[in-house]
């Protein structure tokens, strides 16, 4: 199985044969954040990359993120508070997410819609369904303890 770093490197090769220094820096930055299992806003990656290479362009970084998201190497995570972050997930296969609306913790879920139900919707609505999204939102254990301190004392 390909590692996260392999998946990113392969995707970068796919969208350009030229492996510029900048592109390598972006790939490394994404892998570093992704290996830690962290989700991140595009802006945070830019800030991180500029520590080492101050000249790196915003458009270049954002374009790379967008392309990786299109290739489904990076998952787009839309949080309940309207923030959009990105994540290099463990599973390269189709999956969904459970997210904490306070600390932005992300859990990968194997849950999906039953195929038969999607096909029934296609027939009924006369649609060709190409893709779908399911997001589960809520409070993680840590954040729900903070939200109700009385429960934490038990």
Binding site for Zn ion (CB under 5 A): 75, 89, 100, 102-103, 105, 112, 140, 143
Cα–Cα distance for residue pair 34/43, rounded to 1 Å:
15
Q: Which is nearer to Zn ion, 25 or 77 (CB)?
A: 77
Cβ 138 vs Cβ 98: under 8 Å = yes
DSSP category for residue 54: T
Minimum distance from residue 56 beta carbon to Zn ion (Å): 26
Residue 56: helix, strand or coil by DSSP? coil
- Long-range contacts at 109-113 (CB < 8 A, ≥ 24 apart): 109/136
Least distance to Zn ion, CB of residue 58, Å: 25
32 or 56, CB closer to Zn ion? 32
At closest approach, how far in Å is the CB of 25 from Zn ion? 24
> Which residue reads 């060709």 in tokens?
128
First to last CA, the chain: 44
Q: C-beta of 57: minimal distance to Zn ion in Å? A: 27
> Closer CB to Zn ion, residue 7 or residue 75?
75
C-beta closer to Zn ion: residue 25 or 106: 106
């Amino acid at each position: 199985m390909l590692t996260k770093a392999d998946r990113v490197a392969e995707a970068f090769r796919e969208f350009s044969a030229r492996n510029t220094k900048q592109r390598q820096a972006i790939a490394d930055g994404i892998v570093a954040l992704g290996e830690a299992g962290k989700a991140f806003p595009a802006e945070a990656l830019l800030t991180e990359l500029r520590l080492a290479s101050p000249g790196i362009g915003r458009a270049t970084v954002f374009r790379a993120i967008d392309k990786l998201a299109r290739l489904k190497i990076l998952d787009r995570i839309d949080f309940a508070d309207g923030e959009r972050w990105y994540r290099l997930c463990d599973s390269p296969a189709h999956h969904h997410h459970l997210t904490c609306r306070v600390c932005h913790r992300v859990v990968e879920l194997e849950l999906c819609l039953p195929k038969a139900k999607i096909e029934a919707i296609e027939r009924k609505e006369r649609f060709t369904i190409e893709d779908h999204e399911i997001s589960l939102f809520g409070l993680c254990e840590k954040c729900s303890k903070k939200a109700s301190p009385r429960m934490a004392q038990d």
